[in-house]
């Protein structure tokens, strides 16, 4: 492998340049060169990996023989699942693993050359400003751009992050926000039931305008995203959200 054995970026800018070259190579393999990439990933062959190089060239090959390798290795055996699932799903899966590998390589260099906390943060922020390979391959880049723009506006963020729940999610969310305003205006007795919707079903804390919330489609309780480990990005892909409690109830025989 020539994926870095003779090239060791030592500054944040050099590591980021290395990251962008490898990223461009893998995006090329999964989009413009996808027919050739598909052909090379024969399930009859041994464990194969997709490598991206700083020169923006990609390669499907066996993993490095030395242990440990010079750089972290990409996901092994991407070829085995090629014919066992739809092509777009397989490409998406390879894209996810490719994103993970790119981060591993970038922070390998960071650790090797002693990047401090500030350097690591700067590197991650530079990387995070680019769409992931998964987003490019699945066409989710535009959705991500909208989501990023909504973060600056908390009310817009709440509305968009709950859009996956359909049209009924909007009045529910508006109702919760309105009930909080009413509580603040001293109307607790009149709207006590509505105010209950603004309490997190996990921690019991009150609604806060700068926090992401999600509503369970079964019990209709609201939860802090952080309490149920749901992010706005993940919420976009959930058609029907079930809180941990409702999920457990369904699992019982």
* Per-residue pLDDT in tens (0 to 9) along the chain, 253 residues: 444 444 677 899 999 999 999 999 999 999 999 999 999 999 999 999 999 999 999 999 999 888 888 899 999 999 999 999 999 999 999 999 999 999 999 999 999 999 999 999 999 999 999 999 999 999 876 555 555 555 544 444 444 444 444 434 333 333 334 344 444 444 444 444 444 456 788 887 776 767 788 888 888 888 888 888 888 888 887 878 888 887 776 544 4
pTM score > 0.75 for this model?
Answer: no
Distance CA 15, CA 9 (A): 5
Give the burial class of 91: count Cβ atoms within 10 A of its Cβ; 0-12 exposed, 13-18 middle, 19 or more buried.
buried
Distance CA 159, CA 124 (A): 28
pLDDT attached to residue 145: 54
- How many Cβ atoms are within 10 Å of 112's Cβ, its own excluded? 13
The phi and psi torsions of 226 (rounded to 5 degrees) equal -65, -30
Q: State the fold for domain 198-252.
A: Herpes Virus-1 (3.30.40)
pLDDT attached to residue 198: 66
Residues forming CATH 3.30.40.10 domain(s) in the chain:
198-252
User: How far are the Cα atoms of 19, 186, 187, 199 from residue 160, in angstroms, in the given order?
Assistant: 31, 29, 28, 20
pLDDT attached to residue 205: 78
pLDDT attached to residue 193: 46
Which residues lie below 8 Å from residue 212, measured CB to CB, with a gap of 6+?
A: 157, 158, 161, 224, 225, 226, 230, 231, 232, 235
pLDDT attached to residue 194: 47
pLDDT attached to residue 177: 40
pLDDT attached to residue 148: 53
Q: For residues 221 and 215, is the Cβ–Cβ distance under 8 A?
A: yes
pLDDT attached to residue 11: 94
């Amino acid at each position: 492998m020539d994926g870095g054995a003779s090239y060791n970026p030592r500054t944040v800018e050099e590591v980021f340049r290395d990251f962008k070259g490898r990223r461009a190579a893998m995006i090329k393999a999964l989009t413009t060169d996808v027919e050739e990439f598909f052909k090379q990933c024969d399930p009859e062959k041994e464990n194969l990996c997709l490598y991206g190089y700083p020169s923006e060239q990609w390669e499907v090959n066996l993993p490095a023989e030395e242990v440990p390798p010079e750089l972290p290795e990409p996901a092994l055996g991407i070829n085995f699942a090629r014919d066992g699932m739809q092509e777009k799903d397989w490409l998406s899966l390879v894209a996810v693993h490719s994103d993970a590998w790119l981060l591993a390589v970038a922070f390998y260099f960071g650790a090797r050359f002693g990047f401090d906390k500030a350097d690591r943060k700067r590197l991650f922020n530079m990387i995070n400003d680019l769409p992931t390979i998964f987003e490019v391959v699945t066409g989710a880049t535009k959705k991500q751009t909208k989501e990023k723009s909504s973060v600056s506006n908390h009310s817009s963020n709440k509305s968009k992050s709950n859009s996956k729940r359909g049209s009924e999610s909007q009045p529910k969310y508006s109702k919760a926000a309105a009930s909080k305003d009413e509580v603040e205006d001293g109307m607790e007795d009149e709207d006590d039931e509505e105010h209950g919707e603004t309490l997190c079903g996990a921690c019991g804390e009150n609604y806060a305008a700068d926090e992401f919330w999600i509503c369970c489609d079964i019990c209709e309780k609201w939860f802090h995203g952080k309490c149920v480990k749901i992010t706005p990005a993940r919420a976009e892909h959930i058609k029907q959200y079930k809180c941990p409690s409702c999920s457990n109830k369904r699992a019982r025989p």
